[in-house]
Amino acid sequence: MRSLEDILEEYEFLEGDERYRLLIELGRELEEMPQPLKTDATLVRGCSAQVWVYPTEQDGRLHFLADSNAAITKGIVALVISAVQDRPASEVAAMDVTAALEPFELRNQLSSNRTQGIPNMIALVQEHATRILGA
């Protein structure tokens, strides 16, 4: 999986429609989340675009499977995953994911007053990391 820095470098080079195309492509490249894992239990609260997250853990590192039924949203899901994938729980818990995504200028998609899944997904990922640490 590409690092968030690599993606940002390409993203900053693009404008308008091309940025959306890149996000859609990132979504398509996301590790597949098996259909049976997309249940009410893994569904992130949100209104129109559905987002699912399933956290796993290997050797003290967090690994997430995630998906969305909306393509642009799925691209942003891929950005979040890039920021946190396969990192130790301590690092994920301490990370400011929203700040890390700020350079992508997706303010409308990330602001928590929107009834969409991304801010809730970020919160869920970090709560999971915190829970692992506390366990």
**Can you give the binding site for other proteins, defined by CB under 8 A?**
17, 20-21, 24, 47-50, 69-73, 108-109, 115-116
CA distances from 47 to 14, 24, 91 (A): 29, 20, 30
- One-letter amino acid of 36: P
**Min dist. Cβ of residue 117 to other proteins (A):** 9
Our answer to whether residue 47 is catalytic in this structure is yes
For other proteins, the closer CB: 3 or 112: 112
Nearer to other proteins, 35 or 108 (CB): 108
Active-site residue among 47, 59, 113, 135? 47
Report which DSSP code applies to 67: E
Residue 71 Cβ, how far from other proteins at the closest point, in Å?
5
CB 74 within 8 A of CB 30: yes
Q: Where do the H-state alpha helices sit in the chain?
A: 4-13, 16-29, 71-84, 89-94, 97-101, 107-110, 117-134
CB of 11 to other proteins, least distance (A): 15
- For the annotated catalytic residues, the residue numbers are 47
